[in-house]
Amino acid sequence: METEKENENIATDCLLKEGVKLAKAGKHEKAIECFDTVLTLRPYYAKAFSHKAISLLELKRFEDAITLYDKMISLSLCLVEAWRSKGQVFCVLGRHEEAIEFYDKAISLKLGFFKALMNKGKAFSQLKRFQEALECYDQCLSLKPGNTEANILKANSLNQLERHQEAIQVMKKALRIDPRNSLLHCYLAGTFDEIGDNKETFEHFRFGKFFLRDSKNFLDQREIGLVERFFEIIPETEILLEKSYKNFPNLM
């Protein structure tokens, strides 16, 4: 009996891998069929639920993804990530208030949950509740002081609150941790541009351009766009910016 169960698990693991392979190839409908077969045989297999949800999101079947996350929650499968992922779907649908409630559920289950705090901050930003967003980013930075995205989002919230000098200090502090970070230099340049300091604007865009070639962080496409837009070097700038905005809309 035990051997039979082990064989079944091996078979479903192989089927799960096949589904993942199909999903990576963009064949999400076929992938979902694999994940459904796996879940028929192993109804509590959390990995199959998670991969199916990703494929549903890729197909923009948002309501189906929400139903799936609700089922995971009812079965107590990957509760923390299920609540956070449900919040992300609600944000995509523009239902940010509800998303914040789901992020809070995730954070209550896992105190200091960095990803959920970041998501919550972005949801507040979308609602233009920048003070509350700022509080979320402060919590994030207490966990990961050198995180580029959290520092930029905090600075962005401060800028939205017209607290430009504080935003500058946030980015300067982050640059002391990572002085070659071209994205931080670009955002700092943008803030100096906002307050009309042309000298500092030019200097930090220059540093951003110089360090760009070594940059491997999370928004390379956006960095190129920001730097090249300032120097008006390449006509493809707006295309690069448009691509980066689609991938990271909450950073603006």
User: What rounded mean pLDDT belongs to the chain?
Assistant: 85
* Averaged pLDDT, 167-186: 90
The pLDDT tens digits for 83-127 are: 999 999 999 999 999 999 999 999 999 999 999 999 999 999 999
* DSSP, residue by residue, 18-58: HHHHHHHTT-HHHHHHHHHHHHHH-TT-HHHHHHHHHHHHH
Q: Is residue 16 part of a domain?
A: no
Cβ-proximal residues to 143 (8 Å cutoff; 6+ apart), any chain: 112, 114, 117
What's the CA gap between 86 and 81, in Å, rounded?
Answer: 8
Q: Is residue 203 part of a domain?
A: yes
Q: Is residue 46 part of a domain?
A: no
Decide if pLDDT at 251 tops 50: no
Q: Is residue 30 part of a domain?
A: no
At 152, which CATH number? 1.25.40.10
What's the CA gap between 105 and 72, in Å, rounded?
Answer: 14
What's the CA gap between 132 and 32, in Å, rounded?
Answer: 38
Q: Is residue 208 part of a domain?
A: yes
Decide if pLDDT at 226 tops 70: no
Q: Is residue 212 part of a domain?
A: yes
Band the pLDDT of 203: cuts 50, 70, 90.
confident
Q: Is residue 52 part of a domain?
A: no
**Which of the pair, 212 or 66, is modelled with greater confidence?**
66
Band the pLDDT of 245: cuts 50, 70, 90.
very low
Q: Is residue 126 part of a domain?
A: no
Q: 51: which 2 tokens?
A: 């991969």
The pLDDT tens digits for 178-194 are: 888 888 888 898 899 88
Band the pLDDT of 225: cuts 50, 70, 90.
low
**Which of the pair, 238 or 11, is modelled with greater confidence?**
11
pLDDT at 62: 96
Of 59-63, 170-174, 242-246, the least confident: 242-246
* DSSP, residue by residue, 161-184: TT-HHHHHHHHHHHHHH-TT-HHH
pLDDT at 35: 95
Stated pTM of the model: 0.80
- Give the range of the structural domain holding residue 236, as residue numbers without chain letter: 145-252
Cβ-proximal residues to 197 (8 Å cutoff; 6+ apart), any chain: none
The pLDDT tens digits for 18-42 are: 999 999 999 999 999 999 999 999 9
As for how many domains the chain has, the answer is: 1
Burial of 115 (0-12, 13-18, 19+ CB in 10 A): middle
